[in-house]
Amino acid sequence: MKDKRPAQKPTSPDNYKNTHFTKEEYEALENQFKSLTKDNVHTKAGKLDRTQFRDVLHTTFKMTDDMILDRVFRAFDEDSDSYINLNEWINGLSIFLRGNLSERAKYCFDVYDLNGDGFISREEMFHLLKHSLTKQPTEEDPEEGTKDLVEIVMKKMDNDHDNRISFKDFEITLQEEPLLLEAFGNCLPEPEVIRTYEATFWDQDAT
């Protein structure tokens, strides 16, 4: 029986203008996405599911933290349908790979805002930092060390003193210290990994 796949909506020739990619790069990413999803049928035709997305982040972008991978998926999934479509994929990669500080700040904040209420609470901060610290062997009690770290970070970032970190707090802190962008966990690829991936834009075999 022949598969009945919904036709992929044609992309506008000017879509690339809304990203940090050139027209040629956009088309190369589109071809790569079609290659990644070519065997998908039914409800996920022309889309990446959560498992496929995590596999790409793991194998291509060397990201291995399960909790962060899940949050990155949610950040890419703009319409919250539990799939990544072509536009979400390219728009997400635009920030993921080439976003300016403001764009990356919003992306990282959304990853760290675990319950999506627009703030990073002490509990969320504790959960994120504890998750990172428990991966590093130490003689100290990771829970106590995490509590101390939460207090240090809260004092540093909570500019309006309401015991939670808003996006405005996060932005103000990053303007002073950009290196704190990934303070609660690595959710962006390393520069060397980005360069390696960008080289595949011109791999015509990806089609």
Per-residue pLDDT 10s for the chain (207 aa) are: 333 334 444 455 678 889 999 999 999 999 999 999 998 887 788 999 999 999 999 999 999 999 999 999 999 999 999 999 999 999 999 999 999 999 999 999 999 999 999 999 999 999 999 877 656 665 567 788 899 999 999 999 999 999 999 999 999 999 999 999 999 999 999 999 999 999 987 764 444
118 CB-near residues (< 8 Å, 6+ apart): 166, 167
Q: According to the model, what pLDDT value does residue 3 have?
A: 38
End-to-end alpha-carbon separation of the chain, Å?
26
pTM of the prediction? 0.85
Give the Cβ contact number of residue 26 at 10 Å: 23
Cβ distance 46 to 8 under 8 Å? yes
Alpha carbons 195 and 207: distance in angstroms, whole number: 20
User: Which among 163, 158, 172, 74 is positioned nearest to 114, based on CA atoms?
Assistant: 74
pLDDT value at residue 44: 82
Q: Which helix (H) or strand (E) holds 172?
A: helix 167-176
The CA distance from 143 to 145, in Å, is 5
Distance CA 79, CA 77 (A): 6
Q: What 3-state DSSP class applies to 197?
A: helix
Tokens read off for 179: 């290196």
